[in-house]
Amino acid sequence: MTVRLTGVGLTHANGRRALQEVELTVGRGERLAIIGPSGAGKTTLLRLLATSLQPSEGRLELLGSEPWRLPAGQRKRLRARLGLVHQSPPLPPRQRVVTAVLAGRLGQWPLWKSLLNLLHPLDPAGARNALGRLDLAEQLFERCDQLSGGQLQRVGIARVLYQQAELILADEPVSAMDPVLASHTLGVLNREAESRGVTLLASLHAVDLALAHFPRIVGVREGRIAFDLPAHAVTPQALDALYANEQLDQPRPASPAPAPHVVTIPRC
Amino acid sequence: MKRALNYALLLAILLAVAVSFVGLGLDFSGLTSARGLALMADYAAGFFPADFSAAHLAQIGRASLETLAMSALGTLLAALLGLALALPAAGRFGAVAGALARFVLNALRSIPELVWAALMVLAAGLGPNAGTLALALHTTGVLGRLFAEALENTPGEPAEAIRLAGGGHVAAFVYGTLPGVWPQLIAYSLYRWENNIRMASVLGFVGAGGLGQMLYVSLSLFQQAQAATVILAMLLLVLAVDALSGWARQRWVSH
């Protein structure tokens, strides 16, 4: 089993219950989409699976071990096998794309190699290959603050492709892309997972994309799993219930632009 | 009532000013008297013409290089030490280490360069050695504090993302935090270098080497012509360093 959640609940520090009684089992090589209205807990669920958040109750098993029962060193090694695609990838504005992508293997490289790579990219071919699959190879040596929101999202995906993670978690990975590019990018992620036999979990707000690309669909509503069905068995009624009182196709804001980088220059 | 208090305060301040004049024995009549003005003009005239003899210029060149080296090395040492102390001061190694580092930085910073120089002359002997150490110690305190603030204000998400993918603390710092802060660190260091070149020319007065020591010696021996050249050299040095650091800022920091 790649993922097993048993009775998992999560209460945020401010007392808000984000997830409750979540039961989810995902086998190796499965590809599933998580859909649901805004604020349903999709992002929280993915951050929980990425070991960014700790469950308040229940059991979380990833790749055969319980991350929060492991000593820190072993948890670090487990994390190197998990790849998280952020909705707005947190990349330093001045970092070059090649460095941002190669940073995907920092968990596997010894420290000397990480430091050497900072001075001179050690595997530009690997980064170019990962970016090339997302149609972004020309931007290899550009700075991250010169890219658009959709391009940044693809850099974040390229980093996880380069990481060769065994469990790919993607939080709204295509929210800032146009429909054609979004479909192409999801195709790349799915082919990657299929060809290497690894597991892919992606949260999506576009139901049509989820149904078109993923064999298994999990609906989340108000912190609970509303349904967990093969894509062909998802009925319009189930979707209507999932998004009840929500506008099905509400416009979503693109990923927020990173705050302008200001350097205070002291003068005397 | 409030108005009476204000008048009382005003009166007290005026009284304090009057007492200060009497107490310090300031002699303005002597300053503006014909004899006083003539003496001043005489002294000022001694600075002209400045001494541009080859031997003196060679000496000044050497001392300028010494001052430049003192300020540059002092700032470099301070930047490295400051970063080493800024990391714990920004709370990256727990609360105890943070409080301790902040205490050390405050102590270093609150003692002025001149006092450090006087102490270092006692500890390390006369010469540029003492000046460099003095600049390094005070500037460590200043830069450490500024660096710690810069580190605290850097967004933590990029480093967190590296840690979530299994990267260690050092990797997360150099890939996630440093790219965001190093321009700020360079800007602060250049600014302190500009300050230090000016300070380095003064440190010589307590025997810590460089142009300042030459100035002090010539003034003590009433060699105004030689002193004038030293002052000109200081002016040029400060202007040159300002221009250089302005150029470096444009090149590396502003964009």
Q: Does residue B68 share a domain with residue B98?
A: yes
Kindly state the average pLDDT of the residues A165-184: 92
Asked whether the predicted pLDDT for residue A217 surpasses 60, the reply is yes
CA distance A155 to chain B (A): 13
Do residues B37 and B73 both lie within one domain? no
What pLDDT, on a 0 to 100 scale, did the predictor assign at position A265? 61
| Per-residue model confidence (pLDDT) at position A256 | 53
Domain carrying residue B163: 54-253
Q: Which residues contact A206 (CB under 8 A, 6 or more apart)?
A: A174, A179, A182
**Where does the pLDDT of residue B252 fall: very low under 50, low under 70, confident under 90, or very high at 90 and above?**
confident
Among A114-128, A236-250, B69-83, the minimum mean pLDDT is found in A236-250
Where does the pLDDT of residue A24 fall: very low under 50, low under 70, confident under 90, or very high at 90 and above?
A: very high
* A51: its two tokens: 């070991």
Do residues B30 and B115 share a domain? no
Q: Which residues contact A267 (CB under 8 A, 6 or more apart)?
A: B191
> Is the per-residue pLDDT at A259 higher than 60?
no
What chain B residue is nearest to A109 in terms of C-alpha separation?
B167
Portion 81-140 of B in contact with A at CB < 8 A: none
C-alpha dihedral (B206, B210, B211, B216), degrees to nearest 10: 30
**CB neighbours of residue A256 within 10 Å:** 10
Tell me the three state secondary structure of residue A60: strand
Q: Is B249 on the interface with A (CB under 8 A)?
A: yes
Mean pLDDT for all residues in chain B: 88
Nearest to A74 by CA among A83, A63, A84: A63
pLDDT, tens digit, 9 for 90 and up, residues A45-89:
999 999 999 999 999 999 989 999 999 899 999 999 999 999 999
Q: How confident is the model at residue A258 (pLDDT cuts 50, 70, 90)?
A: low
**Among A68-82, A153-167, B41-55, B104-118, which stretch is predicted with the lowest mean pLDDT?**
B41-55
> Are B71 and B126 within one domain?
yes
Confidence of residue A248 (pLDDT cuts 50, 70, 90): very low
The mean pLDDT value for B68-94 works out to: 91
H-type helices in chain B, by residue range?
A: 2-24, 28-32, 34-45, 54-89, 95-110, 113-124, 128-152, 157-164, 169-172, 178-203, 211-220, 224-248
Opening angle at CA B37, ends B34 and B38, nearest 5: 85
Number of domains in chain B: 2
Q: Give the pLDDT confidence score for residue B121 in this predicted structure.
A: 85
d(CA A191, CA A185): 10
SS (H, E, C) A148-186: CHHHHHHHHHHHHHHHCCCEEEEECCCCCCCHHHHHHHH
Rounded alpha-carbon distances, angstroms, from residue B35 to B26, B38, B40: 17, 5, 9
pLDDT at A168: 94
pLDDT of residue B25: 79
CATH (domain of B112): 1.10.3720.10
Query: Do B165 and A83 count as a contact with CB atoms less than 8 A apart?
Result: yes
CB-CB under 8 Å, B194 with A268: yes
Residues in chain B: 255
User: Could you give the CA distance from residue B105 to residue B141 in angstroms, rounded to a whole number?
Assistant: 4
Between A169 and B194, name the one with better pLDDT: A169
Chain A contact for B251, CB < 8 A?
A: no
Residue B33 has pLDDT above 90, yes or no: no
B25 interface with A at CB cutoff 8 Å = no
User: And the tokens for A76?
Assistant: 């670090």
Q: Which domains does chain A have, with CATH numbers?
A: 1-81+169-247 (3.40.50.300), 89-164 (no CATH)
CB nearest to B253's CB, from A84, A104, A263: A263
Residues B189 and B125 in one domain: yes
Residue A261 confidence class, pLDDT cut points 50, 70, 90? low
Q: State the pLDDT confidence band at A264, using cuts at 50, 70 and 90.
A: low
Residues B94 and B9 in one domain: no
Residue A229 has pLDDT above 50, yes or no: yes
Q: Give which of A170, A243, A176, A249 is closest to A213, Cα–Cα.
A: A170
The predicted model gives A246-257 an average pLDDT of: 51
Q: Give the model's pLDDT for residue A28.
A: 92
- Cβ distance of A266 and B163 shorter than 8 Å: no
pLDDT digits (tens, 9 = 90+) for B86-117: 999 988 888 899 999 999 999 999 998 888 88
Distance CA A55, CA A7 (A): 10
DSSP-derived pairing of the beta strands A3-11 and A17-26: antiparallel
Tell me: do B84 and B195 sit in the same domain.
yes
pLDDT tops 50 at residue A268: no
How large is the average pLDDT for residues B148-160?
91
Q: Are residues B17 and B85 in the same domain?
A: no
* B36 and B78 belong to one structural domain: no
Q: Does residue B141 sit in the same domain as residue B177?
A: yes
Q: Does residue B174 share a domain with residue B207?
A: yes
Note whether B70 and B128 are same-domain residues: yes
User: What local confidence, expressed as pLDDT, does residue B2 receive?
Assistant: 83
Q: Tell me if chain B has a CB within 8 Å of the CB of A107.
A: yes
Mean pLDDT lowest for which of A10-19, A25-34, B47-56, B103-112? B47-56
At A246, the pLDDT band (50, 70, 90 cuts) reads: low
**Sorting pLDDT into bands at 50, 70 and 90, what band is B255?**
low
Among A84, A92, A263, beta carbon nearest to B164: A84
Tens digit of pLDDT for each residue in B201-245? 778 888 777 888 888 888 888 888 888 988 899 889 888 888 888
CA distance B1 to B22: 32
